[in-house]
Amino acid sequence: MRKSSVPQWGIRVVFYCIALFFMALGVAFSANSDLGISPVNSLPYVISDIVKMQPGTCVTIVFCSYILVQIILLRREFNPVNLFQIVFSTIFGYFVNFTKWMVGDFLLPGGYIGRLAMQCIGTVFIAFGVFLYLDVELVPMPMEGMTMAIAKKVGKPFPTVKTVVDCTVVAIGVILSIVCLHLIPFKDAGVRIREGTILAALVTGKVIEIMRKPLSPIVKRICFGDQENRE
């Protein structure tokens, strides 16, 4: 974790929270599109449908389970600072509930095209949130933290493990949808995992890279001052 002055630390925390808000807003837009939730939130949303609990609460619970996996895998190598993932996961859970209320039943007109546009807007919001929280360099969100822990233990590159983890989470969501909700993804109405989930998995990384080129230098300058020039 990079060193910062006290004001810069404050700015980084504020930017991190803004990032979580945009990610939650993206989740709300994706959910309203009814074309599938984002991969990272697919499992919590399926569980929320099963247990009839607020999606934000399920996000917090599932994300905390990812932190537990990190502790089990890393043991003494687990950095206690990463326990702040619990705090940020809770904040993210509240943001999910708030943005779900804020967006309400809003849906762009135009039938399937409007729903696809909603999904694309949600994907852009999520990509912006991921870009921003990664660039302020505080702590990873639980799913990325778990992925890094697995990658470290198996000795595989992070991107490779990330793909496997995302696919595994989506697969678990699909199985739970079929077994517990009797809903078939891509077929039945109301399912959380659909073509939008696949779309998000394919393009989110590319959108992050597009954003990073013009925006990253600005974020780094605000959060870390002239450290980039001294390194």
Q: What pTM, to 2 d.p., does this model score? A: 0.80
**pLDDT average, residue stretch 84-112:** 88
Residue 66 covered by a domain? yes
Q: Which residue has the higher pLDDT, 5 or 219?
A: 219
Q: Are 26 and 185 in contact (CB under 8 A)?
A: no
**Is 230's pLDDT higher than 60?**
no
Residue 140 covered by a domain? yes
Residue 51 covered by a domain? yes
pLDDT score recorded for residue 231: 46
Rounded distance, CA 156 to CA 159, Å?
9
Residue 112 covered by a domain? yes
CB-based burial, 60-94: b 16+ in 10 Å, e otherwise? bbbbeebbebbeebbeeebeeebeebeebbbbbbb
Residue 231 covered by a domain? no
Residue 1 covered by a domain? no
pLDDT, tens digit, for every residue of 163-209?
788 888 888 988 998 999 888 876 776 677 888 888 887 788 788 88
Total domain count, the chain: 1
**pLDDT average, residue stretch 146-152:** 90
Residue 111 covered by a domain? yes
Q: Which residue has the tokens 């233990």?
A: 153
Domain residues for 56? Answer: 6-224
- Report the chain's mean pLDDT, rounded to a whole number: 86
Residue 163 covered by a domain? yes
Q: Are 41 and 173 in contact (CB under 8 A)?
A: no
